[in-house]
């Protein structure tokens, strides 16, 4: 099976936070949501998802709790925190700034 593109480097944290800012989700659901919302352009490697989730927990940008999924399975649900919202805002602003700058170079050079 051909490998699909992963997530661009440095953006995974931002994407996860954005997804979680809508509603709390568990790990698999987060990966699914990103995949779906990007019209199947981006697939999150599990190998990068879980370390990223741990990093979010470490930095206090998300919190985790036990929950039941819609299929009745016991899962761990992640919820964005206020610090996480602030981090999301700052990363989004940074991302916009960078892309705008790159676009400028690509268009005008």
Question: Which residue's CB is nearer to other proteins, number 26 or number 33?
Answer: 26
* Chain positions contacting other proteins, by CB under 8 A: 26-28, 45-47, 50-51, 53-55, 57-60, 69, 71, 73-76, 83
Instruction: State in angstroms the smallest separation of the CB of 31 from other proteins.
Output: 8
Nearer to other proteins, 15 or 27 (CB): 27
Cβ neighbors of 71 (< 8 A, separation 6 or more) are none
Burial degree of 67 (CB within 10 A; 0-12, 13-18, 19+)? middle
Cβ-based nearer residue to other proteins, 94 or 109: 94
d(CA 95, CA 46): 23
């Amino acid at each position: 099976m051909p490998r699909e593109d992963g997530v661009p480097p440095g953006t995974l944290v931002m994407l996860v936070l954005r997804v979680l800012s809508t509603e709390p989700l568990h790990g698999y659901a987060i990966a699914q949501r990103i995949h779906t919302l990007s019209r199947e352009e981006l697939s999150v490697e599990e190998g990068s998802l879980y370390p990223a989730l741990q990093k979010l927990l470490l930095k206090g940008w998300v919190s985790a709790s036990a929950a039941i999924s819609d299929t009745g399975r016991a899962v761990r649900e992640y919820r964005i925190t206020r610090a996480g919202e602030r981090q999301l805002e700052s990363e989004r602003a940074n991302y916009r700034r960078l892309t705008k700058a790159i676009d400028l170079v690509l268009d005008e050079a």
